[in-house]
Amino acid sequence: MPGQGPKKQWLTPAALMLTAAGIATAACQARAEATDRRRYPPPGRMVNVGGRSLHLIEMGSGSPPVVIVQALGGNVLDFLGFYRELASEMRVCVYDRAGLGFPVKSACRSPGHHYSRSMERWVEACAAVRLFLPAAS
């Protein structure tokens, strides 16, 4: 059919432009993330938990420590001022779950299982024998 040739001519350049735009966007995002990691280091320390690096903030003193797990989608920076106030009276431990906040993104297929397993390993890494664990949703 004579009318189909011109219609398909724009398809290849459009696909190439979209591919180039996608690659450029990914490169810009990677560069911006690397800049942010240098510019804004985590306020706590990174702890190896089961081969993953999780961000931990420990403040205050006392026993048992109050371990705070962020609500879904949150990170330790959400309530940093509140944690500092709590730390004046007790030991406070807060961590970012994998994929949220400062840690490396999680490749786990089962987030619920991964979170419970990482919490268990995180408590072991903090050497907490007893703890108080408040929860929020």
Mean per-residue pLDDT pooled into runs of 10, the chain (137 residues): 63 90 96 89 80 82 80 78 90 78 58 61 62 56
- Which residues are CB-contacts of 95 (< 8 A; sequence separation ≥ 6)? 47, 54, 55, 56, 57, 67, 69, 76, 122
Q: Which residues contact 100 (CB under 8 A, 6 or more apart)?
A: 70, 73, 74, 75
User: What does the domain layout of the chain look like in residue ranges?
Assistant: 4-39, 45-125
Domain covering 45-125, topology: Rossmann fold (3.40.50)
**3-class DSSP state of 132:** strand
The reported pLDDT for the residue numbered 52 is 74
Q: How far is Cα 98 from Cα 4, in angstroms, rounded to an integer?
A: 51
Q: What is the pLDDT of residue 30?
A: 93
- pLDDT computed for residue 12 by the predictor: 85
Q: What is the pLDDT of residue 24?
A: 96
What is the predicted pLDDT for the residue at 27?
Answer: 96
Q: What are the φ/ψ torsions at residue 48 (nearest 5 degrees)?
A: -80, 115
Map tokens 């420590």 to a residue: 65
What does pTM read for this prediction? 0.58
